[in-house]
Amino acid sequence: MKKYIKNLTGGNKAGTVKLMSNNIVYKKYDLTIPRSKKLFRNEIKFLKHLEYCDFVPKLIKYNKKKGSLYMTYVGDSIPDTPENQQRISQLIKSLHLDWNLMRHENNKPIYRRSTHNSVINKDNKMFIIDLGSKRFKIVGPKKIIN
């Protein structure tokens, strides 16, 4: 097993998030906590659904019994600026319209999201992370890219 470089803070309040030495993110959820178990299941489901989306991390492997997953590391947090908020809104809208994953409130789409622990930057490209939230739901078939 690779050693970890640092703990990553994030939206995963019911577990551990670590950056491994091979630039892989390791997440471990506490499956004894019902909310954590649901977040884990959602994140797996959504990452599988978005397998071909180029602005979310890629799921490498997961273990349902242990509540752990490995995914690609895509960068560091970005500042909460109006420009970044606009770019984030475009990505959230694309998740809905292009990838059939909707962020919602009361089943109505919303396209805003705080940059805090939700978007990171690698090579000047934004990524959406922490997809386990109850505010996301699948609203259509998985998009397949050939």
* Structural domain contains residue 91: yes
**Total domains present in the chain:** 2
Task: Please tell me whether residues 13 and 61 are part of one structural domain.
Answer: yes
Residues 70-122 pLDDT 10s: 999 888 778 888 888 888 888 889 999 999 998 887 788 887 765 555 667 77
Last residue of a domain, one of 72, 93, 113: 72
Residues 1-60 pLDDT 10s: 556 566 665 544 557 888 888 889 999 999 999 988 998 999 999 999 999 999 999 999
Task: Please tell me whether residues 43 and 84 are part of one structural domain.
Answer: no
Domain hosting residue 110, numbered range: 77-138
Strands (DSSP E) found in the chain: 4-7, 15-20, 24-29, 59-63, 68-72, 76-77, 101-105, 108-109, 119-122, 125-128, 136-138
Identify the pLDDT of residue 69. 95
Which residues lie closer than 8 Å to 138 by C-beta, 6 or more apart? 45, 46, 49, 100, 101, 102
